[in-house]
Amino acid sequence: MEEKQKSGNIMETISRFIVDKRNLFFLIYIVAIIFCLFSMNWKQVETDVTVYLDETAETRQGLETMNEHFAMFSSARLMLANVTYDEAKVVYDQIVDVDGVTMVDFNNSEEYYKDAYALLSISFDGKDLDEETMQSVENIKEIVADYDYTLDTTVGYDQVADLAVQMMQIMGFAIVIILAALIMTSTAYAEVPVLLMSFGAAALLQMGTNYLLGEISFVSDSVGVLLQLAMGIDYAIILAHRFSAERELLPAREACIKALSKAIPEITASSMTTIGGLFALSFMNFGIGQDLAVVLIKGVLLSLVSVFTLMPGLLMIFSPWIDKTKHKKLLPDASFIGRFCVKSRWVITTIFAVLLVGAFFLSNNCPFTYSTTTLRRDNMSERQEAFFKVNDVFGTNNMVAILVPTGDYEAEAQILKEIGACEGVKSTMGLANTELMDGYMLTDALTPRELSEVLGVDYDLVEMMYTMYFMEDDQYGKLLDMENVRVPIFDLFCYLKDTIDDIGLEMDGEMGEMLEMLDMLDMAKEQLQTEEYSRMVVYLDLPDEGEDTYAFLEKIHDIADKHYDKPVYAIGNSAASRDLSSTFATDNIIISVMSILLVMAVLLFTFKSAGLPVLLIVVIQGSIWMNFSFPWIMNTPLYFLGYLIVSSLQMGCNIDYAIVISSHYKEEKEHMSPADAITVAINKAFPTVMTSGVIMASTGFLLGIISTEPTNAVMGECIGRGTLISMILVLFVLPCILVIGDKLIERTSFVMKGINVPVSEYDDFGTMRVKGHMHGWVEGIIEGEVDAVVYGRVHAAVLANNLSIEMQEHDPLAAEKAKQAYADSVANDEEGGTSDEV
């Protein structure tokens, strides 16, 4: 008992310091917020989820290699509708001459023209956000302005900026919904600005400190603050309600200190299940889980800090307005839910058991997708709509890039030949199968005489080129056998181009025509060959993902690995989907097991019962299975990342609703039957569950409806649906399970079976310090955790080690004084007072 009292004194000491030094904390927050307004722009955002793959994954290694060695230029697909081939050819001729356009692919084959639709594949010499490239796209739009056209390109598309705009829209709608929810559950209108200011500070701190993490994913950056709001608003509500209760009997300062000292352990305990669920994400093999876990846990902790250190000062400032703007409870009484559940408990529990089994099997057969390119949604950006329009007419453009060690043109030619002959391949491209003219490929090795005849260039000029080439490499011996020596055309041309550029030589005539050809080859070299690697491109007539596609990737390796001892990489959407799918099964098990274990540990510590945590987790796990049964029922693919993240969030966050009801149930059950206790518990917990649930669900649905980013949209939709299901199960199924499983809860309690038997009874009047869990009356019955000085009569059942009563001053007239104080309190309370106010 001394330890408990000491703990309470520590909390009060800390709370007193925070309240009394509120101006210091205001200054700290002002400085921190000003800093964060600048630092929020310093963060680096990664938009490619594949970089979070394991370091051993082929996609990650291949992308890192390709980005290091090859230039990545922009491209576009332009589709013209209702045109003849000749009309499309006119457009083609105009686009070829546009500055910044390096190549346009178009011909009369079905790959580029069919059913009065023409497809022009355009390559640029710049990147997506280069001003020159964006101007080229604008020039192309002017050319086709009079046509019915669709332009599929990422040029000018800044994903991070677009997401930021969408998140601002979502946040605006979310704030309106939050305001309505807070007003419905608040006790005073002036509490609302305090709650919003507290969260606003936490949100700014979250955004302003993300740069400390170095680089974060676009998922964490875009939804981090939104989820922080949905998860952390409860903490502010708990403190606000505590303050209102204490303010009934105490001045603002003392009420704030008392409320904070009680709220700190309560809020901290509440946050542990959320942190536990989020922490489970960090065990994923897919690195984006750890990225999201760090960002969201940081957000939860900053919300706690804001509530503990900023909100008390705001409550002190707003306390006069809080007193003046008190209003009646706006939410209806929810006792009818408890009574309905008690009467129907066996029917509801049976239905739930059947649904639970069905949901388990349906969720395990959920149709997952590992590429966002397959997610066609109602709300899509103009760029996404263009992508699907082109695909609907000309099919998917499934490209696989193959990286092989450079230097063996014969091996490259053989690889391209074998792959090109495979079923499911539309075309292949590489230096080894790019035709120069008359059937000769760029990488063919020719003698000076053969090259002179192929190009139609004077032999002496070609011989001079060969001589320069051999002298550069100190291969003087080959100069003696010039008639028979062979050099790959591409190597010779690249050397010639570099030499001419170095000396600034200007040539005309035959050499001038050759230089124009060299300019074209220069771009090919940047994209297809470096000193260490050669890149070949294969276009597949296969979906982005699936067993057939993954099998073909293995076939590519079988063909290429025969020619090289060093690693060969196959890169593309299909390869990324294969690598992501390979990590999914393991990550799914890890997240499910770890989130349950971590939440279970918190619940065991909270309720000191082995049975109750199991019942709570069954309900929430059931809501998770039901949530992810919908994709199967609706035959809609679910992006795997949404499943991994939301299942963890649902377990960590929605379990709080069950905890609130269970806590009230355990308290009420000490002095009434389980049936009556659950009815009272539902009524007491209803405002908390509705506030938190409505905010979380509406936030998720807004994200799903407004966001055009498939990952965020899928995640939002699952969060909204999952929270709604959790609320329904917690309000209608959990009460039935608690009443039916009451004996299990009692028998698995850590305390002695006789704990509910009073070991003594206390009855006296005077001035007493009452601390602990009390069941009794103070000139009026009081039930709950008590830490107060009572001026009046106390009659209480003192259970083993759960209540201490210290007589400070014996006063026979105290009972009469208490009765008068109670009467005055009732007269001043529009709602008739509550037992806690005595």
Helix (H, G, I), strand (E, B) or coil at 736: helix
Q: Which stretch of DSSP H or E encloses residue 658? A: helix 640-668
Per the CB < 8 A criterion, the answer to whether 179 and 694 are in contact is no
The answer to whether residues 768 and 815 touch, using CB atoms and an 8 Å cutoff, is no
- DSSP H/E element including 809: strand 803-810
For residue 752, what pLDDT is reported? 37
The alpha-carbon radius of gyration of the chain (Å, integer) is: 36
Instruction: Examine the pLDDT at 428 and tell me if it is beyond 50.
Output: yes
Among 165, 128, 170, 160, residue whose Cα is nearest residue 48: 160
Q: Distance between the two ends of the chain, CA-based, in angstroms?
A: 24
How high is the pLDDT of residue 187?
77
pLDDT at 205 over 90: yes
Lowest mean pLDDT among 109-118, 153-162, 725-734: 153-162
Pairing of strands 445-446, 760-777: unpaired
Distances (CA, A) of 804 to 8, 769, 800: 13, 8, 10
Average of pLDDT values for 417-431?
A: 87
What are the residues whose beta carbons fall under 8 Å from the beta carbon of 515, sequence distance 6 or more? Answer: 497, 500, 507
Which has the minimum average pLDDT: 421-435, 481-495, 621-635, 681-695? 481-495
Cα dihedral across residues 671, 674, 675, 678: positive or negative: positive
Phi, psi for residue 834 in degrees, rounded to 5: -130, 160
Q: What is the pLDDT of residues 475-519, one digit of tens each?
A: 777 777 777 888 887 888 777 777 766 555 454 544 555 555 555
DSSP string, 334-355: -HHHHHHHHHTHHHHHHHHHHH
Note the pLDDT tens digit of each residue in 738-756.
999 888 888 887 643 443 4
Give the per-residue pLDDT at 28.
95
What's the pLDDT at 554? 92
Alpha helix (H) ranges present in 144-217? 159-185, 191-209
Tokens of 544: 């982005």
| pTM for the whole structure | 0.76
pLDDT at 7 over 70: no
Q: Stretch 387-415: mean pLDDT, rounded?
A: 88
| 59: pLDDT strictly greater than 70 | yes
CA distance 685 to 695: 16
Q: How far apart are CA 229 and CA 312, in angstroms?
A: 19
Judged by DSSP in three states, 530 sits in: coil
Three-state secondary structure string covering 531-578 = CCEEEEEEEECCCCCCHHHHHHHHHHHHHHHCCCCCCCEEECHHHHHH
SS3 399: strand
Contacts of 5 (CB under 8 A, 6+ apart): 771, 804
DSSP conformation class of 73? -
| The token pair that represents 229 in the structure block | 């709001």
- In the chain, the amino acid numbered 750 is F
Closest CA to 278 of 585, 650, 619, 589: 650
Residue 735 sits at φ, ψ, to 5 deg, of -55, -40
Residue 253 in this model has a pLDDT that exceeds 80: yes
> Quick one: pLDDT at residue 518?
57
pLDDT at 546 over 90: no
pLDDT at residue 770 in the model: 60
Using 50, 70 and 90 to split pLDDT, how confident is the model at 384? confident
- The mean pLDDT of 405-430, rounded to a whole number, is 88
pLDDT band at residue 520, thresholds of 50, 70 and 90? low
Ordered alpha helix ranges (H), 473-529? 489-503, 509-528
Contact 591, 283 (CB under 8 A): yes
Least confident of 98-102, 455-459, 583-587, 645-649: 455-459
Provide the 3-class DSSP secondary structure of residue 74: coil
Average pLDDT for residues 429-441, to the nearest whole number? 79
- Of the listed ranges 36-45, 49-58, 432-441, the one predicted with least confidence: 432-441
What is the SS3 assignment for 10-27? HHHHHHHHHHHCHHHHHH
In this predicted structure, what is the pLDDT of residue 356? 94
| CA pair distance 685, 6, nearest whole angstrom | 30
Classify 158 as helix, strand or coil.
Answer: coil
Cα angle 538, 541, 543; round to 5:
105
Task: Let me know how long the chain is.
Answer: 838
Supply the pLDDT for residue 188: 83
Segment of 252-256, 450-454, 482-486, 801-805 carrying the highest mean pLDDT: 252-256
CA 189, 194, 200, 206 torsion-angle sign: negative
What single-letter amino acid sits at 35? F
Residue 760 has a pLDDT of 41
Predicted pLDDT of residue 796? 57
Q: Could you give the CA distance from residue 297 to residue 111 in angstroms, rounded to a whole number?
A: 50
Which whole-number Å values give the CA distances from 574 to 271, 365, 478, 549, 577, in the listed order? 40, 22, 46, 7, 5
pLDDT for position 524? 65
| Predicted pLDDT at 786 | 64
Tokens in use for 95? 């686009």
Could you tell me how far CA 503 lies from the centroid of its own chain? 54
Distances (CA, A) of 255 to 12, 263, 404, 595: 11, 12, 72, 37
Query: Which amino acid appears at position 14 of this protein?
Result: I
Query: What contacts 747, CB < 8 A, 6 or more positions away?
Result: 611
Tell me, what's the pLDDT at 704? 86
Percentage of residues of the chain with pLDDT beyond 90: 22
More confident residue, 30 or 274: 30
Q: What pLDDT was estimated at residue 5?
A: 43
CA of residue 232 relative to chain centroid, distance = 16
What's the average model confidence in pLDDT over 369-374? Answer: 81
Give the integer Cα–Cα distance in Å for 440 and 446: 9
CB atoms closer than 10 angstroms to residue 738: 27
Report the pLDDT value the prediction gives residue 33, as an integer from 0 to 100. 94
When pLDDT is averaged across residues 756-782 and rounded to a whole number, the result is 50
Q: What span, in angstroms and rounded, lies between the C-alpha atoms of 73 and 700?
A: 36
Q: What is the pLDDT of residue 2?
A: 42
Please give, one letter per residue, the 3-state secondary structure of 227-283: HHHHHHHHHHHHHHHHHHHHHCCCCHHHHHHHHHHHHHHHHHHHHHHHHHHHHHHCC
The pLDDT, as a whole number, for residue 804 is 58
- The DSSP call for residue 373 is G
pLDDT band at 107 (very low <50, low <70, confident <90, very high): confident
Facing residues of 152 across strands? 77
Residues 6+ apart with CB under 8 A from 667: 681, 783, 784
Give the pLDDT score at 619: 92
Structure token digits, residue 313: 């000062």
pLDDT score recorded for residue 835: 36
pLDDT of 284 above 70: yes
For strands 113-114 and 75-81, give the pairing. Answer: unpaired
* Per-residue pLDDT reduced to its tens digit, 336-362: 998 999 999 999 999 999 999 999 999
Residue 249 confidence class, pLDDT cut points 50, 70, 90 = confident
Number of other residues whose CB lies within 10 A of the CB of residue 378: 6
d(CA 147, CA 143): 9
CA 819/CA 792 separation, integer angstroms: 8
The DSSP string of 280-294 is HHTT-SSTHHHHHHH
What average pLDDT does the segment 26-44 reach?
92
- CB of 627 closer than 8 Å to CB of 653: no
Tens-digit pLDDT profile for residues 667-677: 788 777 888 88
d(CA 309, CA 301): 12
